[in-house]
Amino acid sequence: MAELLLINGPNLNRLGSREPSVYGQRTLSDIETQLSDHAGQAGHRLHTFQSNAEHELVERIHQAGDEAVAFILINPAALTHTSIALRDALLAVAIPFIEVHLSNVHAREAFRQQSYISDIARGVISGFGPYSYELALAAALRELENNQA
């Protein structure tokens, strides 16, 4: 059994009511519950964390390093485009991770097309709404299986 961690950054606690035409109708707790169930069915455990504060996200990533988390799924939201601190935290713990976005950031404003973490991610999934998280979990589970084999 592996421990996985789903991290969501600023404003994603407002999913469901926040710009539904861009981010969809589903709430974050709905998405978290579904993903935790899927991970559980696959014999793993998914922990979830959301914060609007950069330093709390950095702390949670450090904690993951101490907890033997095997894989991180992370949607850093706006911090994707600004945060060297998050990049450095992910490098510090060296846990493989997938960068997730609900919207297709490459089809939006120019400032969203820069990511401080894409080049160090195992992969990037962007543009499928809440389904982006399901795709990311499926990819993470496949990676874990391949690493065990």
Residue ranges binding ligand DQA (CB under 6 A): 11, 75, 77-78, 80, 101-103, 105, 112
Q: How far is the CB of 16 from ligand DQA (least distance, A)?
A: 13
Which lies closer to ligand DQA via its Cβ, residue 63 or residue 82? 82
101 has catalytic annotation: yes
Tell me which of 23, 44, 116, 133 is the catalytic residue.
23
Which lies closer to ligand DQA via its Cβ, residue 45 or residue 112? 112
Which lies closer to ligand DQA via its Cβ, residue 42 or residue 137? 137
- Residue/partner pairs of 134-143 with CB below 8 Å, 24 or more apart: 134/34, 134/35, 134/38, 136/73, 136/98, 136/100, 137/4, 137/35, 137/38, 137/39, 137/46, 137/73, 139/98, 140/4, 140/71, 140/73, 140/98, 141/39, 141/42, 141/44, 143/71, 143/96
Instruction: List residues with catalytic annotation.
Output: 23, 101
